[in-house]
């Protein structure tokens, strides 16, 4: 039987207002939550980590009364005999061996540390990873943009809209650490499956011309969601897209942020294909150009593919060759799962790409030349909206130095830097990423509106 976790919360509201207020305030600081609505926000935080949150003030029982535990077992669908006989005459008699433990809140720091140790839910410490949203516990939506063209997205929260755009080879799920955090900070978060990924349709027959910037930046999605302006946050290819949006469609952009990907303005004197050949770090993009070749390699063993791609800053140096004759040439044949991914995370990515394949995602690379021609044909100008560029010290491809001088084209540019992050910043260092994004979003949009 899969392990289930419950928290039995002995909270009676106004009877003990001072101590819960301290707990709520501490959790707000630890998880970067907006202040206010403290009981609701704490319960939301607990509910994201436990199968059941049972409040004594709602059940009519107090912890550690036997009826409180029996109620929890009933709601979890666990027969009492699977828990074992536990004497409950006193709190001190709860048995950790039976999966129960009481935490006495005499000192808040110690109590939170004990709770984290017992449950595995990290509530304290600089290395704590933010809560995530599970695919089956978040709202999914679909928008038909035109016949045969559909966009899949997930949505959470209310407030100013923030649109999250992932890169290659990813999914909306790559933002799983950011979606709850940004929503809790007071924003309406929409994370897309980009064109050709997951449940968002790819152009039939692999037509790469339908990946040009005008269709990539399809504004009808925003209109269908009644969003006149949006703040864009992108990573990798998503970063390239959000810079394109901010430069060529500024009237629809409130602010723009990119993780790892700097603004690369087109050079009319040098075609994109020629520029790639001069950059050894991008040699894999040349390999991706021939239809069918990279697909066969990447789809042959999806688990191995994602174990190689998704390397943290510490792992990337050991996994990638200096010069790749293929997409997946590495120095060792034994590729363990990345420390960034749980087993469930890996299964989700494998499942998404087993259904959609790599043809759609690879076509983003195959449209480079057409993108270059389109951008060269457009009026040039600066990015005037508030902007954020976050670089990662251990990214082996998109080096921080590539963003040098961006202020010339983006005068209202803020910067963030994460020294120990590799390319997959929002998964590698999610807490640091969230802190940078939320701080910038609040500075750009102002404090969250008070709730009635």
Which residues are catalytic, by number?
236, 365, 423
Token reading at 391: 């670089």
CA angle (238 as vertex; 348, 223 as ends), nearest 5: 100
Q: What is the CA radius of gyration of the chain?
A: 24
**H helix and E strand count, the chain:** 19, 10
Cα 151 to Cα 196: distance, rounded to the nearest angstrom: 9
Cα 251 to Cα 375: distance, rounded to the nearest angstrom: 17
Q: Do 188 and 363 form a contact (C-beta atoms < 8 A)?
A: no
Cα 141 to Cα 335: distance, rounded to the nearest angstrom: 35
* Environment class of 401 (CB within 10 Å of its CB; exposed 0-12, middle 13-18, buried 19+): exposed
Residue with tokens 């001190």: 92
For residue 319, the tally of other CB atoms under 10 A from its CB is 20
Residue 172: closest CA among 354, 336, 348: 348
Maximum C-alpha span of the chain: 82
Token reading at 273: 């294909």
Q: Is the omega angle on the peptide bond into residue 398 within 30 degrees of 0, that is, cis?
A: no
Token reading at 314: 């510490």
Cα 239 to Cα 120: distance, rounded to the nearest angstrom: 34
Enumerate residues 6+ apart whose C-beta is below 8 A from 416: 388, 389, 390, 391, 436, 440
Cα 419 to Cα 426: distance, rounded to the nearest angstrom: 13
Cα 298 to Cα 411: distance, rounded to the nearest angstrom: 40
């Amino acid at each position: 039987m899969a392990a289930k976790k419950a928290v039995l919360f002995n909270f009676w509201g106004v009877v003990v207002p001072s101590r819960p207020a301290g707990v709520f305030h501490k959790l707000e600081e630890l998880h970067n939550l907006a202040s206010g609505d403290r009981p609701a926000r704490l319960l939301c935080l607990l509910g994201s980590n436990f199968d059941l949150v049972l409040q004594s003030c709602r059940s009519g029982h107090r912890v550690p009364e036997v009826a409180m535990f029996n109620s929890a077992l009933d709601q979890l669908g666990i027969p009492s005999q699977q828990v074992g006989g536990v004497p409950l005459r006193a709190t001190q008699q709860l048995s950790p061996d039976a999966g129960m433990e009481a935490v006495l809140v005499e000192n808040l720091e110690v109590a939170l540390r004990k709770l984290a140790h017992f449950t595995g839910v990290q509530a304290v410490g600089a290395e704590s990873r933010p809560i995530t949203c599970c695919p089956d516990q978040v709202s999914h939506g679909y928008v038909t943009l035109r016949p045969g063209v559909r966009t899949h997205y997930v949505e959470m929260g209310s407030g100013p809209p923030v649109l999250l755009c992932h890169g290659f080879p990813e999914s909306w799920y790559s933002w799983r650490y950011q979606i709850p955090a940004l929503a809790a900070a007071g924003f309406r978060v929409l994370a897309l499956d980009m064109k050709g990924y997951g449940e968002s349709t790819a152009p039939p027959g692999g037509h790469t011309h339908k990946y040009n910037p005008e269709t990539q930046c399809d504004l009808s999605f925003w209109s269908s969601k009644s969003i006149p302006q949006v703040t864009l946050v992108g990573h990798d290819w998503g970063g390239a897209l959000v810079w394109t949006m901010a430069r060529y469609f500024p009237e629809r952009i409130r602010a723009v942020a990119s993780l790892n990907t700097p603004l690369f303005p087109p050079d009319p004197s040098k075609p994109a294909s020629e520029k790639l050949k001069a950059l050894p770090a991008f040699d894999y993009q040349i390999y991706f150009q021939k239809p069918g070749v990279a697909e066969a390699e990447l789809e042959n063993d999806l688990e191995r593919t994602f174990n190689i791609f998704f390397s943290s800053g510490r792992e990337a140096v050991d996994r990638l060759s200096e010069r790749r004759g293929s997409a997946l040439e590495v120095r060792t044949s034994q590729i363990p799962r990345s420390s960034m991914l749980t087993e469930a995370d890996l299964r989700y990515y494998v499942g998404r790409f087993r259904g959609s394949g790599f043809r759609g995602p690879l076509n983003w690379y195959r449209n480079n030349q057409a993108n270059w021609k389109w951008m060269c044909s457009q009026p040039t100008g600066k990015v005037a909206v508030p902007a954020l560029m976050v670089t990662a010290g251990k990214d082996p491809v998109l080096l921080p130095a590539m963003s040098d001088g961006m202020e010339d084209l983006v005068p209202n540019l803020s910067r963030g830097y994460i020294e120990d992050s590799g390319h997959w910043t929002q998964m590698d260092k999610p807490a640091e990423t969230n802190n940078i994004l939320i701080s910038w979003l609040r500075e750009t949009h102002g404090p969250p509106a008070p709730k009635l």
